[in-house]
Structure 1
């Protein structure tokens, strides 16, 4: 199999932003740029392990010599199942267009596998503030939880009175109410 002739950006990973619950953020389109640095016309196809979960435009085409194309990849689901999050991958297949062939579909049908050039990219789902791209969601969520618990622990006053003393007591119909102000956390 020949080496990929296209320059593909990003090189290894397609990053998608998700919130702490695993839901894609609104307007979460990721772009891949294909550049043809050769003097040949190159045909390309974009494939994925999760075809129903992404809209890829364009998902195939022809790149003239020394030209570029931006591929828009938009998630079609709102939630990334944690069991699937390391399984989503994309592959760019390309082939140098044979001289005189104008029917692109026919070229793809007739091409032998040893002429195809493949390039694989994995999907990474990033949560806000994450730094570790592989376990970004889990690490960021764990860090956020630790910070929240620490902040809540520091902010809680030490309660020395019995719990019964903090509960409002009922008043007599004609008398004033005897209440204790609520604690503020």
Structure 2
């Protein structure tokens, strides 16, 4: 933090978590520790690269003002992630109700202007961490079925659970078993309907045809 006579500035470095092709912003807080109105102005060595809002303003007595500095999306990283850009924050006492203008910061006019230099620093963004849920392997169908069966069994054995609830659990288990049996039966029927398998209708027709042919041969003999 800068401890000038007019404004405290925090931080003293503009740190940007550098990422290619992405606009990045950081903030600077100005604190007026006096009982006077203080005008400020922000300048940079690379104005096309950064957007400062506000770049000029008034900080009222014993109050604060936040400045947002946005770096335009960069197509390539600098060598060794070193940046030579700098910002200059100028501050000067201003009359109450005045509007900030460039003439206030003209030292040749006898104005007492404080200056604070703020270098730009690139930092690497924090590493991406997968969420705790996605870090666990996906459970198989058999593992899920075993877990459900275990929960059902424990619920039926727990005497603290009301009888009505346990009866509902038991009824649901029976319905689930019936559903599984029905599902297995339908699956087998579908397998018989596949090419290369004879359906029950085919078996019945073959049997009837054999019975008819046998009866016909008996009649002819």
User: Does TM-score exceed 0.5, indicating one fold?
Assistant: yes
Q: Report the CA distance between 1:107 and its aligned residue.
A: 3.0
Determine whether 1:118 maps to 2:115.
yes
How large is the Cα RMSD of the aligned pairs? 2.7
Query: How big is the shift at 1:108?
Result: 3.7
Looking at CA atoms only, which structure, 1 or 2, has the larger radius of gyration?
Answer: 2
Secondary structure of residue in 2 paired with 1:120: strand
Structure 1 portions without partners, runs of 5+: 131-185
Number of the residue aligned with 1:73: 69
* Secondary structure in structure 2 of the residue aligned to 1:93: strand
Once the two structures are TM-superposed, the CA of residue 77 in structure 1 deviates from its matched residue by 3.5
> 1:43 touches 1:94 (CA, 8 Å); kept in 2?
yes
Within 1, Cα distance between the matches of 2:118 and 2:36? 24
Cα distance in 2 for residues equivalent to 1:110 and 1:118? 11
Q: For 2:125 and 2:98, locate their aligned partners in 1 and report how far apart those are by CA, in whole Å.
A: 46
In structure 2, relative to structure 1, the CA distance for the partners of 1:110 and 1:90 (3 Å cut) is closer
**TM-score normalised according to structure 2 size:** 0.48
Q: Check conservation: 2:43, 2:87, Cα contact below 8 A.
A: yes
- 2:42: which partner in 1? 46
Query: Which residue of structure 1 aligns with residue 14 of structure 2?
Result: 14
Which secondary structure state, in structure 2, belongs to the residue aligned with residue 29 of structure 1? strand
1:102 Cα shift?
Answer: 2.8
Confirm or deny that 1:127 pairs with 2:124. yes
| In structure 2, distance between residues paired with 1:103 and 1:18 | 35
Q: Tell me the TM-score normalized by structure 1.
A: 0.57
Give, in angstroms, the shift of residue 5 of structure 1.
Answer: 1.7
- SS of residue matched to 1:51: coil
- More relative contact order in 1 or in 2 (CA 8 Å, sep 6+)? 1
> Is 1:64 aligned to 2:52, yes or no?
no
Q: CA deviation at 1:85?
A: 3.6
Distance in 2, Cα, partners of 1:72 & 1:88: 16
**Structure 2 unaligned spans of 5+:** 128-221
Q: Alignment length, in residue pairs?
A: 122
The CA distance in 1 between the partners of 2:112 and 2:8, in whole Å, is 17
